[in-house]
Chains A and B, each alone.
Chain A
């Protein structure tokens, strides 16, 4: 009996408790995406993107087929193997390379494929003269565009055109008293070897250090794109602490500051600001001869940034993310523009190695009061979520939870400002929301970090990249509807390793029998699939414990 079951819908079921499970996981990980990782059986999915990722990483169809046949418990359907071989065969029929005389050229090993793609209306404007039957000139500025279109046509091109080195700048890691973790090293190595690509690591697993490690490899000027200013500051802080870079070498390019230094950290927001129909800050990309571009939180990369990225194909690109799942389904753009996945490690595995804290996830179901139920039933559709998400009972439950974990660092996270203000008042805790100034935010975060305040109420502004090492309890009272990645991010808040090895707690307070519950189910699905099981408890239990305890 082997450990892998190949399903007809191209999912692979891996029995994790099996003795050969680890070998098998290693064998299938290059080409199959881990889709769900609950406690007993992990589900991997074989997709064309995954297979091409594998090809990009140097695996061939034979290895893939071998892995399946070797580990499969039941005979693998012949059709599936044929399909895999055919799909993988499509990668690399077309290659983009540098031609000494003609510049960037698209070459094929299979002439009909070239003929087929050249017939496409979308390819025609991107290519120039035909050099010989097997190659055609590509406008250098369309390098990203053509890769995107070719992927959509099902003939992904292998980009061998190489990279410009960019302006050199000395960067070293200062490993005093700490070192890159093995998986971080592996990630840096895989990325550097592959040229460009995406590293997938869970929140709290030290993605910033993977970025720093890559910069130390590149030793060149670097542009780092992050989601917001807080995150930018944290990157800066971390880089100063972990590398030979000094404060002066790192510039911040955001709404308030416009510094361009050898290492520049810019926010997505400032880049995508549009004035009079143009993006005035785009010149940042050309302001220096960047040798490396780092994209933090790739799964949030706004659409315009993809467009700019298409023009930056000659530079090394590193994407960092906790999940390749994009709510907008643009995974293929990530693949073609930033690069294939170069490294990933399942959440649970890193937890098992002790690098992130184990978490206890609890969903608390609260009942609406009778009047609330009536109001909810008659509310307009677009108002419904707000109605149920901000029910009064949630406040009581939240208070009870906060009381139970008194003394620990607690975050209360929510979507609706009214609700948060009210909670802040009742819990006697400061509230961080959109209107809070950055200085004030940093001050509060510092105070929280130092333990001066133990409860912090935050709106979704704190969703991303803030680093709150000592938060051990998070209470989520409302969220952006069913956003799975938000849930992952929020859980990430409490997953940083705790100094005292405390167990982290993640509470999600949900109104029963409402769309809040449906959204919660949707949000949790990602985490449940990552192996985080939610316990579900009734609000009454919490309240009862609270009154007795």
Chain B
């Protein structure tokens, strides 16, 4: 036991009180929910740290080994000495790796205030114990059942004595000591071995089946001999009729003391699947980065003149997504990624008009003006920190609604953390190494194991899916090239690009992870803890040796900066660094194309923007990639002419930007289209004047009075006017001409004074001064209702009990038993009853009913008041009274 100078803490609050500030800070950093709002004192902090929600949250963030340690503590006696815990974790065989890793895991648990007390008296906080201890409803991941003591708690003392006797122990005078003796026997490896040696073969098979859980089994009321043998010795204990359980102590004996079948003290290493040259990786990633920019620009261009409509529920319709995918020449999931990326980067948004559509934001125009590398880093940063997860698009939410791109329900708060973690793991590999996806997933699952049955219908858990998406999206975006993290992406994560090679070369994954205990909020501290151990196998030097009585804290940071999510300011610096690294790798925009006689133009690289813009109008894009192939067609040339360019402009443009002579067929094509362009003219006119005598039309045009009519000559014999035909007729008549109106077919229209008419209207409804006289049916119904109501209100009635009539106007009140009896009697006699009734809105009323049947808490009765058969819940009937005789 502890020396007197350090009295052992008696509660979590006391244990916290004994911790220093740094250690408390570490606790609060790893469990930020404890300080929202800030607790008033440590007792309150301890209380809050013990609440179910908070403990659950903390447990969910433990790595697999720390969780396994906590699970082992949950099945150990409370409090448990360190050695007991060690025995549970390392087993009788004393697995050295486990033994070496255990102090650290325990340190993590202590730091998170999940475990308190010194090494002699380790206590798991009660809530955690409840959450992790096995119970029939929630089997423990350890697969262990209840202890002998728990399993025998309801058993008769006689039965216990029988078991003790059969097990070969001396009988005791009370059940408690008998259970203790039995437990002691089960925990004694040697005696237990002797006992089991006598067991029939079939019995040992039964035990072997139950040993790793689930520990429960079914037995018939008359068990077979080998089961009886086990039951008689308490090696199986009955829990419920027909169910037996393997007591924890027995299971632990059979497991050689281990609480877990497979303790996983070390994080699985991320295996490289392939290694490429650093230059290849960076170049590929840069190429992809450029493609990413081009794709986003193309998307925006596609949506430039009015993007797709916003669905009423929000988001992009499946059809629009398909169309966009075709326009971008990618698959739909990939299209969803680009759309979501542009959205996350603030480049597109809903325009908020009544007829809501997606459109580019002003930020897009600013983005467009920036250098390519900066444009990329802005996208990459947005991707890194976004909680939007495009991978979900096309899936269904909990209510089985399709998740639309840009729609609601796509935010997953774990996304940024998983992205960062995956990239950090990648950064831990040697430069140029592409990881094996499964090993990345395995590592993530170790760092954040899932508790409980979360894997339903074979679906992968969310974190694994996020990780997969992260890997594929990183490749799309040019964060990785050929699967390996690029130098510019390292910079984006805040990892030093130059030093990374030497340090990671020495095979220390997670080099830059901060020691677990000082991980800032949001990081997976357990992960960091795991990596630290791998980083420094000399654990004790880091202060994680066994026997540490207090939580372990490291106050120094390792030489390199931590690969933890950066603060906005740090991120800005990192983003700029990434852009600087990327810039020289991106292709330099060109200012020329190669024109060919097959009416194509090839831009052997990205083009300067004004050039690209003009070419986009003048020609159709045929193939994209590093280069762009344009094809000139009559339609594309016409498009350019429509855009206001002249043939001469186009020739000049081509001569200027072509590195090769303009081929004759292309020049001919432009001239040919230009020759026809504008040959037909279309305009709007409201009325015309037609006359075979063009001198007369000359005369009209020359007349000053015609100026107001704004006549225009279309042909020698036709004038057009923007005013309506009637005005034109009036005007010409006023000028002294005698024009005739013409119908659409060209006939002369005989014009009569045109009567003015409204559009179709209905005649006004008459407004009577009272309601219309009721008809016979209505009257009959009304009278019956009134009479019935009257009957209900005025009938003299007597109560079942004392026979005294309830004063009129008040609801009858009877006890529910009385109500039931009266109603049942009325069913038999066929009498009518007067009841008080409160409807679902709470309105009380009284009714006269003739009950037909009473069943399941409902009375079915003929309601005189409503004149129909109705059903009343008995509990709404406040009381009943029989109607007075007569």
Residues of A within 8 A of B (CB): 5-9, 11, 13, 15, 36, 38-41, 43, 69, 72-79, 363, 513, 525, 528-529, 533-536
Most B CB within 10 A of own CB, among A38, A41, A75, A77: A75
Q: A41-B596, A363-B665 given. 19 additional CB < 8 A pairs?
A: A5-B604, A7-B626, A8-B625, A9-B329, A13-B623, A13-B627, A13-B629, A36-B598, A39-B663, A40-B596, A73-B604, A74-B626, A528-B597, A528-B599, A528-B665, A529-B598, A533-B597, A535-B664, A535-B665
The reply to whether B665 and A78 form a contact with Cβ atoms under 8 Å apart is no
Q: Which residues of A contact B597 (CB under 8 A)?
A: 38-39, 528, 533-534
Chain B's closest residue to A536 (CB) is B668
A-B contacts, 27 listed (Cβ < 8 Å): A5-B605, A5-B625, A5-B627, A7-B625, A7-B626, A8-B291, A8-B329, A13-B627, A38-B597, A38-B598, A39-B663, A40-B594, A40-B596, A40-B660, A41-B594, A43-B623, A43-B629, A73-B605, A73-B626, A75-B284, A75-B286, A77-B287, A78-B288, A78-B482, A78-B483, A528-B597, A533-B597
Distance to closest chain B CB from A364 (angstroms): 12
Chain A's closest residue to B472 (CB) is A79
Distance to closest chain B CB from A276 (angstroms): 49
Q: Which residues of B contact A536 (CB under 8 A)?
A: 664-665, 668
B676 at the interface (CB under 8 A from A): yes
Distance to closest chain B CB from A82 (angstroms): 9
- Whether A39 contacts B604 in the complex (CB less than 8 A), given A74-B587, A75-B481, comes out as no
Q: Which residues of B contact A40 (CB under 8 A)?
A: 594, 596, 602, 660
Q: Which residues of B contact A43 (CB under 8 A)?
A: 623, 629
B733 at the interface (CB under 8 A from A): no
Q: Which single member of B481, B483, B665 contacts A533 (CB below 8 Å)?
A: B665
Q: Which residues of B contact A69 (CB under 8 A)?
A: 280
The reply to whether B625 and A6 form a contact with Cβ atoms under 8 Å apart is yes
Residues of B within 8 A of A (CB): 280, 283-288, 291, 329, 475, 481-483, 587, 594, 596-600, 602, 604-605, 623-627, 629, 660, 663-665, 668, 676
Chain A's closest residue to B476 (CB) is A79
Q: How far is A72 from B600 in the complex, measured between Cα atoms in Å?
A: 21
Q: How far is A363 from B668 in the complex, measured between Cα atoms in Å?
A: 11
Chain A's closest residue to B282 (CB) is A75
Q: Which residues of B contact A75 (CB under 8 A)?
A: 280, 283-288, 481
Q: Which residues of B contact A38 (CB under 8 A)?
A: 596-598, 600
Q: How far is A112 from B623 in the complex, measured between Cα atoms in Å?
A: 36
Q: How far is A547 from B481 in the complex, measured between Cα atoms in Å?
A: 67
Q: How far is A72 from B626 in the complex, measured between Cα atoms in Å?
A: 9
Q: Which single member of A7, A79, A525 contacts B629 (CB below 8 Å)?
A: A7
The reply to whether A525 and B598 form a contact with Cβ atoms under 8 Å apart is yes
Chain B's closest residue to A533 (CB) is B597
Q: How far is A41 from B329 in the complex, measured between Cα atoms in Å?
A: 23
Chain A's closest residue to B596 (CB) is A38
Chain A's closest residue to B661 (CB) is A39
Q: Which residues of A contact B587 (CB under 8 A)?
A: 74
Q: Which residues of B contact A528 (CB under 8 A)?
A: 597-599, 665
- Whether A78 contacts B481 in the complex (CB less than 8 A), given A7-B623, A11-B623, A536-B668, comes out as yes
Distance to closest chain B CB from A34 (angstroms): 13
Q: How far is A11 from B631 in the complex, measured between Cα atoms in Å?
A: 15
Most A CB within 10 A of own CB, among B602, B625, B629: B625
The reply to whether A78 and B624 form a contact with Cβ atoms under 8 Å apart is no
Q: Which residues of B contact A11 (CB under 8 A)?
A: 623, 625, 629
Q: Which residues of A contact B285 (CB under 8 A)?
A: 75
Chain B's closest residue to A4 (CB) is B626
Q: How far is A15 from B594 in the complex, measured between Cα atoms in Å?
A: 10
Q: Which residues of B contact A363 (CB under 8 A)?
A: 665
Q: How many A-B residue pairs have CB under 8 A?
A: 103
The reply to whether B604 and A15 form a contact with Cβ atoms under 8 Å apart is yes
Chain B's closest residue to A3 (CB) is B604
The reply to whether B625 and A39 form a contact with Cβ atoms under 8 Å apart is no
Q: How far is A77 from B480 in the complex, measured between Cα atoms in Å?
A: 12
The reply to whether A533 and B604 form a contact with Cβ atoms under 8 Å apart is no
Distance to closest chain A CB from B130 (angstroms): 49
Q: How far is A8 from B285 in the complex, measured between Cα atoms in Å?
A: 15
Q: Which residues of B contact A15 (CB under 8 A)?
A: 604
Chain A's closest residue to B626 (CB) is A74
Q: How far is A6 from B604 in the complex, measured between Cα atoms in Å?
A: 10
Chain B's closest residue to A534 (CB) is B665
The reply to whether A39 and B624 form a contact with Cβ atoms under 8 Å apart is no
Distance to closest chain B CB from A532 (angstroms): 8
Q: Which residues of A contact B286 (CB under 8 A)?
A: 75
Chain A's closest residue to B667 (CB) is A536
Chain B's closest residue to A532 (CB) is B597
Q: How far is A248 from B623 in the complex, measured between Cα atoms in Å?
A: 56
Q: Which residues of A contact B280 (CB under 8 A)?
A: 69, 75
The reply to whether B287 and A39 form a contact with Cβ atoms under 8 Å apart is no
Chain A's closest residue to B482 (CB) is A78
- Whether A513 contacts B676 in the complex (CB less than 8 A), given A9-B329, A534-B665, comes out as yes
Distance to closest chain B CB from A42 (angstroms): 10
Distance to closest chain B CB from A345 (angstroms): 20
Chain A's closest residue to B287 (CB) is A75
Smallest CB-CB A-B distances: 7 pairs = A533-B597, A7-B625, A75-B287, A74-B626, A528-B598, A38-B596, A5-B627
Q: Which residues of A contact B284 (CB under 8 A)?
A: 75-78
Distance to closest chain B CB from A510 (angstroms): 12
The reply to whether A9 and B625 form a contact with Cβ atoms under 8 Å apart is yes
Distance to closest chain B CB from A231 (angstroms): 30
Distance to closest chain A CB from B436 (angstroms): 15
Q: How far is A536 from B612 in the complex, measured between Cα atoms in Å?
A: 28
Chain B's closest residue to A72 (CB) is B626
Q: Which single member of A8, A513, A533, A534 contacts B624 (CB below 8 Å)?
A: A8
The reply to whether A77 and B291 form a contact with Cβ atoms under 8 Å apart is yes
Q: How far is A78 from B626 in the complex, measured between Cα atoms in Å?
A: 13
Q: How far is A15 from B587 in the complex, measured between Cα atoms in Å?
A: 17
- Whether A39 contacts B629 in the complex (CB less than 8 A), given A75-B284, A533-B665, comes out as no
Q: Which single member of B604, B664, B668 contacts A13 (CB below 8 Å)?
A: B604
Chain B's closest residue to A8 (CB) is B625
The reply to whether B287 and A9 form a contact with Cβ atoms under 8 Å apart is no
Distance to closest chain A CB from B815 (angstroms): 75
Q: Which residues of A contact B663 (CB under 8 A)?
A: 39, 533
Distance to closest chain A CB from B621 (angstroms): 11
Q: Which residues of A contact B604 (CB under 8 A)?
A: 5, 13, 15, 41, 73
Chain A's closest residue to B625 (CB) is A7
Distance to closest chain A CB from B193 (angstroms): 48
Q: Which residues of A contact B287 (CB under 8 A)?
A: 74-77
Distance to closest chain A CB from B826 (angstroms): 73
Distance to closest chain A CB from B486 (angstroms): 11
Q: How far is A41 from B283 in the complex, measured between Cα atoms in Å?
A: 24
Q: How far is A15 from B596 in the complex, measured between Cα atoms in Å?
A: 12
The reply to whether B626 and A5 form a contact with Cβ atoms under 8 Å apart is yes
Q: Which single member of B627, B664, B668 contacts A7 (CB below 8 Å)?
A: B627
Q: Which residues of A contact B602 (CB under 8 A)?
A: 13, 40-41
Q: How far is A303 from B660 in the complex, measured between Cα atoms in Å?
A: 44
Q: How far is A78 from B289 in the complex, measured between Cα atoms in Å?
A: 13
Q: How far is A22 from B511 in the complex, measured between Cα atoms in Å?
A: 48
Distance to closest chain A CB from B552 (angstroms): 43
Q: Which residues of B contact A73 (CB under 8 A)?
A: 604-605, 626
Q: How far is A43 from B481 in the complex, measured between Cα atoms in Å?
A: 26
Most A CB within 10 A of own CB, among B280, B587, B599: B599
Distance to closest chain A CB from B433 (angstroms): 14
Distance to closest chain B CB from A227 (angstroms): 28
Q: How far is A5 from B624 in the complex, measured between Cα atoms in Å?
A: 10
Distance to closest chain A CB from B647 (angstroms): 15
Q: Which single member of B475, B599, B600, B668 contacts A78 (CB below 8 Å)?
A: B475
Distance to closest chain B CB from A529 (angstroms): 5
Q: Which residues of B contact A74 (CB under 8 A)?
A: 287, 587, 605, 625-626
Q: How far is A287 from B262 in the complex, measured between Cα atoms in Å?
A: 75
Chain A's closest residue to B288 (CB) is A77
Chain B's closest residue to A527 (CB) is B598
Chain A's closest residue to B279 (CB) is A75
